[in-house]
Structure 1
Amino acid sequence: MSEEHLTEDLLMRLLAASSPDDYLEEGFTAERSLAGYLHEVLAAKRLKRADVYRASGLNSTVVYDAFSGKSCLGRDNALMVAFGLGCTLRETQRLLKLAGAAELYPKVRRDAIIIWCIDHGLTREVCDDELWRLGEKTLLGTSPL
């Protein structure tokens, strides 16, 4: 995967530009699809799609359709794919954006737990256990009693 500029850095460049044209000519903008990004991460991590659907806990059709661009992922499914890919927090946030879902927000209790799990390299199953233990809805959709 190519190294990307941080959004904050790009925003500073954009605001400092004398016109939108000047910024656009720098070539920092790009159209990116969720499917394209999923393939980039898959290749960078040397995984197969089967590895992702097994580690994510999702039905293989959901994962294959997301990789082919046939369907978009909801937020929890996108998070589960991120766990299946072994994404970092930055990669997860980018995946969520491309899926059209809200990024993880540390002021939200459930999101804070998920962020902590991702940052510590935990699996989706362990994250679900933490969510359950702390009284939050798991990624697979079960709610604690």
Structure 2
Amino acid sequence: MEFHKGEKVEVCSKHEGFLGSYYTATVVKKLDTNSYAVQYENLVEEEDISKLLIETASGDEVRPVPPRIKFGIGFSMFDKVDVFDNDGWWVGKVTGRRGSLYFVYFETTREEIAYHVSKLRIHLDWVNDKWVSSKRMVS
């Protein structure tokens, strides 16, 4: 899939400690057949925190922003979800609930953390240029 200047996207981090997390960005420029200059919505430059970070991302690290899906009454045990934390979206599994708090387990860090429902979204996978519900995917 090709992205154009000004388009909102999510960029997958491949940096140690951030592997598998996604950060919202805007395409600044298409650089070549398989890379883009992107400006992050929440990440800033180390040298000047008043400036949003701009960096190069390869095409396989960029995907469209997933559609907003209303989830009705809430999430179920072991649902795969994305959690907004640390300026990005992280994939985890629901392991419990207490009121409006959901406990989410992250395989990459082996941590379980409680989040308000407003920080969660249904996890979707970007497969063959289409959004696919993780519930419908065969493992």
* TM range, smaller chain: under 0.3
TM-score by length of 2: 0.23
TM-score by length of 1: 0.22
Instruction: Give the number of the structure whose residues are more often strand, by fraction.
Output: 2
Instruction: Give the number of the structure whose residues are more often helix, by fraction.
Output: 1
